[in-house]
Structure 1
Amino acid sequence: MKFQSTERYIAAPDLQVAVNAAVTLGRPLLIKGEPGTGKTELAHQVAASFGTELIEWHVKSTTRAQQGLYEYDAVSRLRDSQLGDARVHEVRNYIRKGKLWQAFEADHRAVLLIDEVDKADIEFPNDLLQELDKMEFHVYETGETIRAKQRPVVIITSNNEKDLPDAFLRRCFFHYIRFPDEQTLRAIIGVHFPEIREQLLSAALTEFFEIRDTPGLKKKPSTSEVLDWLKLILAEDLSPEDLQRSPGHLLPKLHGALLKNEQDVQLFERLAFLSRGQR
């Protein structure tokens, strides 16, 4: 099983190496990078590349590690006992399998995505150490041990909202997805917009990188945002000349696709004001 770029996803060579190294080592692949650089989509494309099932566990602030293993529905069992339901005599009827359990029992080697692990409590990663290391866990209500039929490919994403524990990091293969250079970005755009005219693409990328490199931006526009911007440009049938910004009006066309907070919009408005004052 070797991961490479797919028809719908351009993976840089170092990212391909990271995925394949994690698979070879049998370690979870911890992926970090700016929002919008394709961390979550990577798991989809790895599953597609390997021709296997993708099991997604999207982590929230309230998510507990136990939910990834299983949950015991004691309330439903109590209710059924009061109603005289015969199901109450079998505790397995009240065990809900979590995403790790689903990945462990898959007939073929699955890809397990643990998305945005840093959203949960700081203890969340530590609570999964043994299960991800040994690929097994114990179900106390039934007394059984669940072992992985085949070690799943585990991809864990993080937006760097909080530091992850050292013990957890030690068990992962780490990769940071850098923002793509212009050549790679062109290849990514070519996958999504194969018919885009070269003159328009060059003008758009010139504007995009100037915007992205503007000092003081709170949130730099990402890959997903430049794709949204280009989609709008094509839908509006704008020309390369339409994208050029005048000194007195430095906000880019359709800037809502690129600038995602009022501070960055105000930054460009201030730059335009200063530019007018210098004329």
Structure 2
Amino acid sequence: MTTSTDPTGQDPAGRDPEGQDPASQEPAGQDGPGQDGPGLPADWRLFHGDGTVRAVDFPPPPPWRRFTPAGPDAAPAARPYLIGPDEADIVNAALHLRRPLLVTGHPGTGKSSLAHAIARELDLGRVLHWPVNSRSTLQDALYQYDAVGRLREAHLRRDTGGAGGAGEGTPDVGADDVGRYIRLGPLGNALVPVERPRVLLIDELDKGDVDLPNDLLTVFEEGEFTVPELVRLTDRGHPVEVQTDDPDRTAPVTRGRVRCRAFPVVVITSNGERDFPPAFLRRCVRLDLPEPDEQRLRAIVEAHLGPDATAGIDDLLAEFLGRRAPGELATDQLLNAVFLRRGGVDLDAGRLLEAVLHQLGGAV
């Protein structure tokens, strides 16, 4: 059986499992295989709970909890991602067909991290991330127009005789300025015409409104959308620069129409909380990521903590596999346990092992 994993199922942009920023959160392995042990001191306790004030030096964090500098040109950190050949073939099918890849699986199987692995391996730049929740709308994912901000500044400039309190050289608020108040969302940004496609991660679509998958159909089929606030400028044939989801970058939009040149690489994740309509499923390529078996777990540990990291962890592996029911434990929990064990921490002391390998289901 082939399995896949970034163990945590997190996105290297830096958020918690299944859709939060991995530059900070996900087992990243920035140091790569063969790195030194975690380097926890013999007395690993930083906090004693006795009220005594101590100035302590924090030890190095696990590789997947190291933060990288932010910025539009910051190179994504290399993070191990293991996937079986069968799963890789399904990814390739979606790439060739220019169809969205719908990725399902239990938490911690690497659904969100797959998007970052594709972007890194194909050198497609920063992943555009749309974390879906119950309030998410297609409009927000395409673009947002700050009409209130534009009106406020217009009034301010009028009241101050055009200076707006910003001094000389500040442009007037007019038709050419509307782009300053329009920001493309992650989906809108992914449809900006570029030579090489961007990677778009639509995270946990099943958490959104029941109509959201159907709302996406036209955009997926046509590869375009319009910005009515710019369409109204019918006498303006020149591009209007609008803000984008990429920090400090703009994109030109002509006559309010955004149409992709290369359809983006769309990765959609779902935890199976809701069924999707057939019309939506017909337009996707399905990939279900299985739970990693023991052999794959050992490979994951070695990829993140070095080739010698699996020495002496047979009992931890057995405990992890014995506790794991489908969806009840995530692979990053095993990595946490191995990291502490390699630092000399006695996981059998008190309730420590139970805290690290706690069940993900049920009430807390």
Answer with 20-29 or 65-74: which moved more.
Answer: 65-74
The answer to whether residue 81 in structure 2 is matched with residue 81 in structure 1 is: no
TM-score, reference length from structure 2? 0.62
Q: Answer whether contact 2:200 2:267 (CA < 8 A) is retained.
A: yes
The answer to whether residue 184 in structure 2 is matched with residue 184 in structure 1 is: no
CA distance in 2, matches of 1:228, 1:133: 43
Q: Which has the higher helix share?
A: 1
CA distance in 1, matches of 2:212, 2:222: 17
The Cα offsets for residues 213-252 of structure 1, whole Å up to 9 and x where unpaired, read as 5xxx9x51121221122222222345xxx76x9xxxxx98
Deviation of the 1:198 alpha carbon = 4.5
Q: Answer whether contact 2:302 2:309 (CA < 8 A) is retained.
A: no
The Cα offsets for residues 193-215 of structure 1, whole Å up to 9 and x where unpaired, read as 224455522222112111115xx
CA 1:113–1:122 in 2, change beyond 3 Å: closer, same or farther? same
Equivalent residue, structure 1, for 2:216: 128
Among candidates 139, 143, 167, match of residue 66 of structure 1: 139
Among candidates 150, 153, 165, match of residue 262 of structure 2: 150
CA 1:15–1:65 in 2, change beyond 3 Å: closer, same or farther? same
* SS of corresponding position for 1:151: coil
Deviation of the 1:16 alpha carbon = 0.5
Among candidates 187, 198, 214, match of residue 110 of structure 1: 198
CA 1:158–1:172 in 2, change beyond 3 Å: closer, same or farther? same
The Cα offsets for residues 72-124 of structure 1, whole Å up to 9 and x where unpaired, read as 22212222232226224333332211112212224422111111111211111
Equivalent residue, structure 2, for 1:227: 335
Q: Answer whether contact 1:80 1:88 (CA < 8 A) is retained.
A: no
Deviation of the 1:263 alpha carbon = 5.7
Q: Answer whether contact 1:77 1:88 (CA < 8 A) is retained.
A: no
Letter in 1 for 2:286: F
Equivalent residue, structure 2, for 1:273: none
Q: Answer whether contact 1:37 1:224 (CA < 8 A) is retained.
A: no
Q: Answer whether contact 2:302 2:310 (CA < 8 A) is retained.
A: no
TM-score, reference length from structure 1? 0.80
Letter in 2 for 1:104: L
Equivalent residue, structure 1, for 2:87: 15
- Of the two structures, which has the highest relative contact order with CA contacts closer than 8 Å and spacing of 6 or more? 2
Report % sequence identity. 39
The Cα offsets for residues 46-66 of structure 1, whole Å up to 9 and x where unpaired, read as 100001122111222221111
Taking only aligned residues, the RMSD between alpha carbons, in angstroms, comes to: 2.6
CA distance in 2, matches of 1:158, 1:102: 22
Q: How does 1:186-225 map to 2 (within 5 A)?
A: 186-196=298-308, 198-213=310-325, 220-225=328-333
Alignment size in residue pairs: 248
